[in-house]
Structure 1
Amino acid sequence: MNKRTYGKFCCVVNCKNTQYNTKNVHFYSFSMKPHTVEQREKWIKGVRRRNADGSLWQPNKYTKICSEHFIGNAKSEHPLSPSFLPTIFL
């Protein structure tokens, strides 16, 4: 993956969406709030990224995932919604 240092871009492997090359795509942060730990862990597992040493990848406060990975092209805050977790990984 190319190192991008400025702007918003999607962290999903092989997703090329950035704030510069896409319109009508939103970029969501991985929540760092204590009460959203379970949701955050599920997002991390869904992204299925690994570090070079094989360990589980962890997002930082700047990491984003684009709306194209959510059903309906938008995330939901409701745990029972199909858009609560990113599930579209082509």
Structure 2
Amino acid sequence: MLRVYNGALQYYQAQVVDPNIYNRWFRLNVVHNVNLSRVRVYIDGVQKLSVSGRGGTSHYFKVGVYTQNNPSSYMESRWRDIKIFKKN
């Protein structure tokens, strides 16, 4: 759901989350509250996006770099301390 186009981190292709995401490391947190149908995105601890979810009752978690339209010739991601929380 988060993609980079022309150096801007975007929510799908509709909304800019951070206009200048290239050439820097950043901490990304995504909170997806399925019950409230709400998605919040944080960059370096600052909330950058809060939008309605896109529906569905079954979701899965992916980690990594995936190409989309017009992929870059260089992609890198490093992950550590991943935590997944689930409300009872």
User: Does the alignment reach a TM-score above 0.5?
Assistant: no
User: Between Structure 1 and Structure 2, whose CA radius of gyration is higher?
Assistant: 2
Q: Which structure carries more strand by proportion? A: 2
Q: TM-score, normalised by structure 1?
A: 0.24
Structure with more contact order per residue of length (Cα contacts < 8 Å, sep ≥ 6): 1
Q: Which structure carries more helix by proportion? A: 1
